[in-house]
Structure 1
Amino acid sequence: MVVCFLSRKHSVNWSSVPDEDVTDSSSEKDKLTLEEIINIKLVESGERENLMELVRDRLVESGWKDEMRVACREHVKKKGRKDVTVDELIRVITPKGRASVPDAVKQELLNRIQNFIGSSAP
């Protein structure tokens, strides 16, 4: 997924984002990637939560959530209820879940993020 969680630890204004090079005097840990800057802006504006809600709704509408529930139940049934941990279930189901997210959901999320970036640029 394009969006990852970052805390509000760093507050960044688009105008403060360097065009290309960051001066040599700043340390590596002080440099923010474009992805981090976008994520910070999404969190600060409240748009990240809107996007998360959109994805949840679309995954339910597409039947993806039901498919993942069935996959989890099948894995638990196969291994036995007492022999499956939550960590194992997450490890087994996550790759299947990520691979089966409908392309339309991914595209809609990407379009919304691109629109957000376009409307937030200085």
Structure 2
Amino acid sequence: MAEKSAQIRATLNAKLIESGEREQMKQLLRQRLIEYGWRDQMKAYCKESVKQKGLENLTVDELVQEITPKGRALVPDAIKKEMLAHLRQYLAKHEDL
């Protein structure tokens, strides 16, 4: 079952890329995150993390590992719902997937 689900996701992702819809959704997501202040929140969180640990004691990979869960948690539900609605609309237009 998990294999079938992964195959469906891969097919959908390929279709989104091929049609240019994926890039449009990424642009919309970026815009919404900025509008909701997510970017500013993450910038402040990064600065605080670097300040606490010291620039010399923190690699980029470590910073990314630390901020990724926080970044995901800070995405407003309204944005998640909007992106999901966009994806559903795309799927409705392309029922052959």
TM-score in terms of structure 2 length: 0.90
**Moved runs in structure 1, 4+ residues, more than 3 A?**
none
- The whole-number CA distance in structure 2 between the counterparts of 1:67 and 1:57 is 15
For 2:32, the equivalent position in structure 1 comes to 58
Pair 1:85 & 2:41 matched = no
Larger Rg: 1
Q: CA deviation at 1:108?
A: 0.4
Greater helix content: 2
For 1:114, the equivalent position in structure 2 comes to 88
Correspondence 1:29-108 to 2 at 5 A:
33-108=7-82
**Structure 1 unaligned regions, length at least 5:** 1-27
Q: Which amino acid aligns with 1:37?
A: T
- The whole-number CA distance in structure 1 between the counterparts of 2:61 and 2:72 is 16
- Give the secondary-structure state (helix, strand or coil) at the position aligned to 1:121: coil
- The whole-number CA distance in structure 2 between the counterparts of 1:118 and 1:41 is 13
**Structure 2 unaligned regions, length at least 5:** none
TM-score in terms of structure 1 length: 0.72
Q: CA deviation at 1:66?
A: 0.3
How many pairs were matched up? 92
CA RMSD between the two structures: 1.2
For 1:13, the equivalent position in structure 2 comes to none
Q: Which amino acid aligns with 1:47?
A: E
- The whole-number CA distance in structure 2 between the counterparts of 1:103 and 1:33 is 27
